[in-house]
Structure 1
Amino acid sequence: MSTPRIESLPEGLANLADFEPAAQARVDAQAWAYLNGGAADEITLRANRAAWDAIQLQPRVLRDLAGGHTRVNLLGRTLRHPILLAPIAYQRLFHADGELAVAHAAAAQEAGLILSAQASIDMQAVATPMLADATAGPLWFQLYWRDDRDFMRDLLQRVQAAGFQALVLTVDAPVHGARDRERRAGYQLPDHIRAVNLGGRKKPLDLQPGQSVLFDGLMPRAATWREIDWLRATSPLPLLLKGVTHIGDAREALDRGVTGFIVSNHGGRALDTLPPTAALLPPLRAALGPEVPLLVDGGIRRGTDVLKAMALGADAVLLGRPYVHALAASGALGVAHALRLLRDELEIAMALSGCKTLAEASPELLWPGSFPAYFR
């Protein structure tokens, strides 16, 4: 299958949230819990969304906005807009066309795409529509570290050969968070869905009696700074780290040749009670300066959210769960429509805020008294 099927859109779609009921009707309860659940009490999951809502805009009026645009610069490229699709695993859980449909939609709407290492569609099939369209956004590949350097070297070579332009290493989830909603639903990956780009089997754990599966089995295999050095030496592609929240870690990563960061708390799915990403972004930008590429995810739902993120220092944003809702609701056309809605909302927000270009988006665009306590 090289092209996704064309389906009709649900009626009454006015924003990204409108896809959710149609999606839930088509997805089984286990997969729905996997997609939408967070870790533990889901405090961080809720806080991501609440933080964007709490920040208020402070518009300027009577400005000449003729010729305005949403273009941004990222890793040496000029993008038509700052919206990329976040890496989400096993998208064939939600639609038969999975990541293939998402790639066609992203290319059609000039959006960037970060493909999950745990994608359920072959990486070359996903890359083809993105690379065929000169106006498409960037195409990056997300990694989880596997403690097998021969395997990792082969994977990096395949990623580069397929045309991916950067690597994104997720560093905030060496183990799964305590995802209560998944466990209550009894989530298990179906036999017909697998991470087709990984292949092979992980080495079994070799534990002695009384040893911890986590601390004696899994954590010795997790990535450390040594693996960052190895990735930088092994692949010529730019390397971004996803999930860095501490300024000290970010500075060390830059010293080791990392290109940039995705400010993320894993969508509230790893460690609960982390601050929302809207609060994590400004101190990282202030500490690292204006030149370091910073993207942000977590709770982005509206064009005003995108504008607020840019004003707080982001170079681009990642859209997560909502595009999978759109995928489940109506395949490639649903994802394309969701992206178009968000792009249109961003332009409206800019126009009504007196913001001609996203380079003009600064903290002055945000109402100071609207910031919750965790921003101060």
Structure 2
Amino acid sequence: MATTTLTTLAEFEKAARQKTSEFAWSYVSRPGKDGQTHTDNRQAFKRYRLIPRNLRDVYIRDTSVTILGTKLDFPIAIAPTATHRLLHPDAESATARGAASMNTAMVLSSWSEHSLEKVAAAAPRGVRWFYLLFYRDRGRMKRLLVRAERAGYTAIVLTADQPFFTFSFRKVPSTLPMPLWFPNIYLEDVPPGALGSLELADYFKKTIKEAATWEDVEWVRKNTRLPVVLKGILSVEDAKMAVRLGIDAVLVSNHGGRQLDGGPATIDVLTNIVRAVGGEAEVYLDGGVRTGTDVLKALALGARCVFIGRPALWGLACNGAEGVQQVLQILKDELNLTMARSGCAKISDIQPSLVVHESYYLYRQMLHLPRNGNNMIPKSKY
């Protein structure tokens, strides 16, 4: 199916599945454990209902937004994800070009298969942030921070919700359609071992610091001139701690449901995090965003921008940079239309009053149910 005929993210997901190897699709789609959190990320958006304001002048809409001082054409950016070459030979460079063509941001993963300098050269006018791992050797971290600054990256992203990594790469096929390597992690150009090998797993164990702490986050903030974004925040306490340490933005995320299964959907905790930071840091969200309506709901509940992970990879698998651009264009167009139908001409018009949780209606219905002699709501016979 030609990508020009694809009009929704659901269609891109189906088309990408047909184009992608079994191993690659399994890796990209894998939820954590039973997939409860992964599934709930999507379903939770449906629990919020829109209350539109009508008869407003929405003939012209402006979807632009400013995040960390940079103006984007719309508040939808690309989250850090690993090993894009599994989906397209141009890997992260193609993803960066797709994002740049839409004037939105991309977070480059440390697990990318193109170096941060190569990705910068592929999309020199793009808005790029760098996702930095915590290393045992802080000298290496400092060198990576300097490299990111020199290459034009405008923010550093740290992940808070991944205390341990799975370095075994289980179920890696004996032969892959292309070699995989991680130039932002290796010190040398030659990988220390094949993907799935004990040598490579041992290298990662000795190099990457697992179970990082707030002290590591504070060290990064003090050792870079770039804004710092903390990704993986779900609790009010962690949000307040991030603010106390001077973090510039928090990304409400549960890692796409790939880490701790059984946690809440990100949209369900968003308002608590927004309230906790009290305007002292920008708040973003990822997890389960599949339509422009989802985007508007997240913005109404306090997110300044949303990030997508898997959908960008579906576009990449279908048609490289152009596929990424098409996925972003679909979301932008859907957001634009949803804004018009909700009475919003610009992003600042999207207010909390536009959204209500479905439990509000359930509660009102219960209040008006007939009661028995004990003043109790009768149980349904079903």
The aligned amino acid for 1:330 is N
* 1:266 corresponds to: 255
Match of 2:184 among 182, 188, 197: 197
1:157-306 aligned within 5 A: 157-176=146-165, 190=176, 192-200=179-187, 221-306=210-295
1:362 Cα offset (Å): 1.7
Segment of structure 1 superposing worse, 187-196 or 226-235: 187-196
1:57 Cα offset (Å): 0.9
1:147 Cα offset (Å): 1.3
1:86 Cα offset (Å): 0.7
The aligned amino acid for 1:245 is L
Q: Report how many aligned residue pairs link the two structures.
A: 348
Q: Which runs of 4+ in 1 moved over 2 A?
A: 8-12, 128-132, 176-179, 185-191, 200-203, 216-222, 367-373
Paired with 1:189 and 1:47, the residues of 2 have a C-alpha distance of 35
**Are the aligned partners of 1:177 and 1:271 in contact in 2 as well (CA < 8 Å)?**
no
SS in 2 for 1:242: strand
Paired with 1:334 and 1:217, the residues of 2 have a C-alpha distance of 38
* 1:363 corresponds to: 352
The aligned amino acid for 1:295 is Y
Over aligned residue pairs, what C-alpha RMSD do you find?
A: 2.7
1:128 Cα offset (Å): 2.7
1:22 Cα offset (Å): 2.1
Structure 1 unmatched runs, 5+? 1-7, 204-212
* 1:53 corresponds to: 46
Which protein, 1 or 2, shows the higher relative CO under an 8 Å CA cutoff with sep ≥ 6? Answer: 1
* 1:210 corresponds to: none
Give the 3 Å change call, closer, same or farther, for CA 85–62 of structure 1 in structure 2. Answer: same
1:220 Cα offset (Å): 7.3
Paired with 1:282 and 1:56, the residues of 2 have a C-alpha distance of 15
**Are the aligned partners of 2:163 and 2:211 in contact in 1 as well (CA < 8 Å)?**
yes
1:1-376 aligned within 5 A: 9-10=2-3, 12-132=5-125, 136=126, 138-176=127-165, 190=176, 192-200=179-187, 221-369=210-358
The aligned amino acid for 1:105 is G
Cα deviation, 1:35-68, whole Å, max 9, x if unaligned, reads 0011100000000000112211111111112443
Structure 2 unmatched runs, 5+? 193-201, 363-382
* 2:199 corresponds to: none
Give the 3 Å change call, closer, same or farther, for CA 371–245 of structure 1 in structure 2. Answer: farther
Q: Rg bigger for which structure? A: 2
SS in 1 for 2:50: coil
**Are the aligned partners of 1:172 and 1:243 in contact in 2 as well (CA < 8 Å)?**
yes
Paired with 1:258 and 1:93, the residues of 2 have a C-alpha distance of 33
The aligned amino acid for 1:234 is N
**Are the aligned partners of 1:44 and 1:275 in contact in 2 as well (CA < 8 Å)?**
yes
TM-score (norm 1): 0.86
**Are the aligned partners of 1:102 and 1:335 in contact in 2 as well (CA < 8 Å)?**
yes
* 1:4 corresponds to: none
Paired with 1:371 and 1:234, the residues of 2 have a C-alpha distance of 47
